[in-house]
C-alpha cells in the first residue's frame, strides 16, 4: 500500500501550499519528471494539499509541465514571479502580470555591454528577440524584431544573454529593477520588488492557507526569496552553498529524486 492510499485528505486548516521550482528541482531541463516524483506529486494532491509550480520559465514553458504532472485546477507562478496564472487541465487563465520597464532595462544593459542579445517575453506566445537565441534556451517561439518595438510592447521580463552578462546586474539594480544572473552569461530582469515569494504570498492568501503551512523547494538563486518565505524551505542537495544557506533544510540532489523525498516527508 502506498502513502497516497493511506493518506486522508487534508482539512482546510491543515492543507499546505507546496511551492516548487521546476528545472533542477522537479525535473532535469528537457526531460520528464521521474516516476517517483510523479507519484509523490500525485500523493500530495490526493492528500488535499496545493502544489504551485513556481518557476523562472515563461508561462508557455510552465504549462506543459503541469499537464505532464497531471495537475488540474492549480496555480502557476512563472517568470520569477512576474506572472501568476491558474491552470485548468491543458488551459490557463492569466491572474496577474507585473510588467518591467523594458526601455530602462535595455538602455542600461546595452550601455554596459552593447553586444548582448535581448529577449522580451510575450505572455503565452513566445519571445520578441533582437537576434536568435540558442535553440531551446527560451521556452516558446522566437520572433526577431527591432529594439524599437521592445519598449512599446508590455512585457513581464527582459532577458540578456552573452559573455559576462552577469556584470550588468549592479547597474540594473541601481535603477530599481530586479536582476538575477542565473548563469554568468544570462540575466533575467523583472520589475522592482518582484520575486517568486511576492507572487506566492498572494496565492497563499487566495487559497486561505496559513503561513505556517507553507513549503517551498528549489535549487537556484531565483529561489532564495521563496525558500525564505516558506515556513519550510527545502533546498535541493546539488544547490550552491548560498541557496542551501537560505533554506531551513536540504534534501537529496536531482539524481537522488530529492524533490520526491521532500514531498513524501509532508505525508509522513
pLDDT digits (tens, 9 = 90+) for 109-122: 999 999 999 999 99
Q: CATH 3.40.50.1000 residue ranges in the chain? A: 3-97+194-267
pTM exceeds cut of 0.95:
no
> What mean pLDDT is predicted for residues 156-165?
97
- Residue 13 pLDDT: 72
- How buried is residue 208: exposed, middle or buried, by Cβ count under 10 Å (0-12/13-18/19+)? exposed
Q: What is the CATH number of domain 3-97+194-267?
A: 3.40.50.1000
Q: What secondary structure letter does DSSP report for 27?
A: B
CA 227, CA 170: separation in Å to the nearest integer?
23
Q: Is 253 helix (H, G, I), strand (E, B) or coil?
A: coil
Domain 102-190: state its class. Answer: alpha beta
Check whether 1 has a pLDDT greater than 70: no
Bridge partners (DSSP) of residue 181 are 187
Three cell numbers written together for 202:
498572494
Rounded Cα–Cα distance for residues 258 and 123 (Å): 31
- Grid cell 486561505 in the structure block, residue: 208
Mean pLDDT of 133-157: 95
Neighbours of 119 (CB within 10 A): 26
Among 52-56, 137-141, 187-191, 232-236, the range scoring the smallest mean pLDDT is 137-141
The C-alpha atoms of residue 226 and residue 171 are separated, in whole angstroms, by 24
Average pLDDT over residues 93-107: 97
186-238 pLDDT, tens digit per residue, is 999 999 999 999 999 999 999 999 999 999 999 999 999 999 999 999 999 99
Buried b (16+ CB within 10 A) or exposed e, 33-64: bbeebbbbbbbbbbbebbbbbbbbbbbbbbbe
For CATH 3.30.1240.10, the residue range(s) in the chain are 102-190
- From the centroid of its chain, how far is CA 182? 12
Q: Give the pLDDT of residue 12.
A: 63
Decide: 185 and 163 in contact? Cβ < 8 Å: yes
23 contacts 222 by C-beta, under 8 angstroms: no
d(CA 144, CA 91): 27
**Mean pLDDT lowest for which of 6-15, 42-51, 95-104, 146-155?**
6-15
Give CA–CA dist 104/148, Å, rounded: 12
Amino acid at each position: 500500500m502506498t502513502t497516497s492510499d493511506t493518506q486522508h485528505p487534508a482539512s482546510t486548516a491543515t492543507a499546505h501550499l507546496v511551492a516548487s521550482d521546476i528545472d533542477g528541482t522537479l525535473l532535469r531541463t528537457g526531460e520528464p519528471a521521474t516516476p517517483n516524483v510523479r507519484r509523490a506529486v500525485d500523493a500530495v494532491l490526493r492528500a488535499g494539499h496545493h502544489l504551485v509550480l513556481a518557476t523562472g520559465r515563461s508561462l508557455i514553458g510552465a504549462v506543459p509541465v503541469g499537464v505532464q504532472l497531471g495537475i488540474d485546477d492549480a496555480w502557476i507562478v512563472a517568470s520569477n514571479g512576474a506572472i501568476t496564472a491558474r491552470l485548468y487541465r491543458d488551459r490557463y487563465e492569466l491572474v496577474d502580470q507585473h510588467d518591467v520597464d523594458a526601455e530602462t532595462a535595455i538602455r542600461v544593459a546595452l550601455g554596459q555591454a552593447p553586444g548582448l542579445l535581448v529577449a522580451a517575453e510575450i505572455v503565452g506566445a513566445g519571445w520578441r528577440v533582437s537576434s536568435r537565441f540558442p535553440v531551446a534556451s527560451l521556452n516558446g517561439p522566437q520572433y526577431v524584431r527591432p529594439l524599437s518595438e521592445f519598449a512599446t510592447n508590455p512585457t513581464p521580463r527582459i532577458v540578456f544573454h552573452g559573455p559576462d552578462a552577469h556584470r550588468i546586474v549592479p547597474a540594473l539594480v541601481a535603477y530599481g529593477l530586479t536582476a538575477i544572473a542565473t548563469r554568468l552569461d544570462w540575466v533575467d530582469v523583472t520589475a522592482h520588488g518582484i520575486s517568486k515569494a511576492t507572487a506566492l504570498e498572494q496565492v497563499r492568501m487566495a487559497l486561505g492557507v496559513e503561513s505556517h503551512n507553507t513549503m517551498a523547494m528549489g535549487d537556484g538563486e531565483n529561489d532564495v526569496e521563496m525558500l525564505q518565505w516558506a515556513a519550510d524551505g527545502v533546498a535541493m542537495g546539488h544547490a550552491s552553498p548560498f541557496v542551501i544557506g537560505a533554506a531551513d533544510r536540504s534534501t537529496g540532489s536531482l539524481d537522488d529524486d530529492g524533490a520526491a523525498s521532500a514531498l513524501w516527508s509532508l505525508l509522513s
